[in-house]
Amino acid sequence: MLIHNKKKVAVIGATGYTGLDLIYILSKHPRVKINNLCATKNLGKKISYFDKRIKKKLPKISSVKKVNWGNLDLVFLSLPNGEAQKLVKKIYFKNKNLRFIDLSADFRISNTKIFKKNYNFKHKAKNLIKDSFYSIPELNDQKISNFRIISNPGCYPTSVQLPLVPLFKKNLIKTKNITIDSKSGYSGAGKNLEKKFKHKNLFSSSFAYSTKNHRHICEIDQQLLRTTKKKIYFSFNPHLIPTFRGILTSIYVQTNKGKTGNNLRKSLINYYKNSRFIKILKLNSPLGSGNVLNTNNCEISICETRIKNKFVIFSAIDNLIKGASGQAIQNMNLLFRFPEHQGL
């Protein structure tokens, strides 16, 4: 079916892992026309040079200076932390119908002091934070279409919030002594992985890091408080594992008095009954990330332990899709009132 009046979009930061997945999915979306693909290097090259999956004829890679912002409906920002806020600040007020979906951390943290502490630089667009909206679609409590800047959540925080928020809202689990253990494929660290981590044999071994000050801790903290109105006490232990994509998060919780694993599972089933991308497995189901790779799905399993009121909640997502590009397109669909699952 031929669809007229497609939304015109640009992808800024086209050649990173999330940028390429974003372009691949967008290239098949029936309601989108890709006008610009921008990067700082490899100008003039075809995007298929970087990702052979992309078969559609698309604009060649160009400088952001070449973009006609007034000719666009939406800009996807797949840039290093700190870059999106500078660009948005330049063009936000000059193009009042233009919308942005930011896949970096630039608009995730509402408190600029906490942002500076975790990202080691001052926010360059403080006055625009109030105009932004942090969006995990399944957990939103406001209409996304009321905002021009959409902050796409981090991959680890997505895998954590989807199973926990409904359980806290129903007061089913205790708010203290929670351990969150997340294992991610190495694509989560980006293309400059070896510059960030000096660990030997990084691509063929497991690596634990940043248990005290991982940048996603403040995001999880903020959003759990915002969505549940409760202070949640947790530790967070991230790992990189020798696989390219996928996250498996294990969350160790204690139930409130009289609550069972079936109570937890039924609460999640009820909460997500209208959510196409959330799959709640049978009680005590084993879970890996394999089922969700290259999808926008999140699979969740509630598992009993040998201790009566202690449970492990497993959550699996693809860090590049539900944890980044797929969720960004899900947010775009809601922003323009397309079917939420379209193109996914």
pLDDT at 149 over 70: yes
Q: Is 214 helix (H, G, I), strand (E, B) or coil?
A: coil
270 CB neighbour count, 10 Å cutoff? 11
CA distances, 18 to each of 38, 188, 200 (Å): 13, 9, 25
Angle between helices 155-169 and 261-271 (to 10 degrees): 110
Query: What pLDDT does residue 198 have?
Result: 67
User: What pLDDT band is residue 188 in, cutting at 50, 70 and 90?
Assistant: confident
Q: Determine the pLDDT at residue 141.
A: 81
Of the candidate ranges 138-147, 253-262, 314-323, the one whose mean pLDDT is the lowest: 138-147
Quote the pLDDT of residue 4: 66
pTM equals 0.95
Q: What's the average model confidence in pLDDT over 47-57?
A: 95
pLDDT tens-digit readout, 11-38: 999 999 999 999 999 999 999 999 999 9
* pLDDT of residue 5 exceeding 90: no
Q: What does the pLDDT average to over 143-148?
A: 94
Catalytic annotation, residues: 155
Tell me the average pLDDT across 195-214.
82
Residue 150 near residue 329 (C-beta atoms within 8 A): no
pLDDT in tens, 279-333: 999 999 999 999 999 999 999 999 999 999 999 999 999 999 999 999 999 999 9
- Give the Cα separation of 254 and 243 in Å (integer): 31
**pLDDT-derived band at 193, boundaries 50, 70, 90:** low
- What percent of the chain is predicted at pLDDT more than 90? 92
Instruction: Look at residue 195 in the predicted model and tell me its pLDDT.
Output: 63
What pLDDT score does 294 carry?
A: 97
Q: What is the pLDDT at residue 194?
A: 59
- Confidence band for 202, pLDDT divided at 50, 70 and 90: confident
What percent of the chain has a predicted confidence (pLDDT) above 70?
97
For residue 109, give Cα distances in angstroms to 2, 6, 155, 215, 226. 40, 32, 15, 10, 12
In the sheet with 178-185, reading across from the earlier edge strand, the strands are 207-208, 234-241, 178-185, 247-254, 310-317, 298-304, 278-280
CB contact at 8 A, 225 and 169 = no
Domains of the chain: 7-153+323-335 (3.40.50.720), 156-319 (3.30.360.10)
pLDDT on residue 3? 64
Confidence grade of residue 201 (pLDDT, cut at 50, 70, 90): confident
Q: How far apart are CA 180 and CA 320, in angstroms?
A: 20
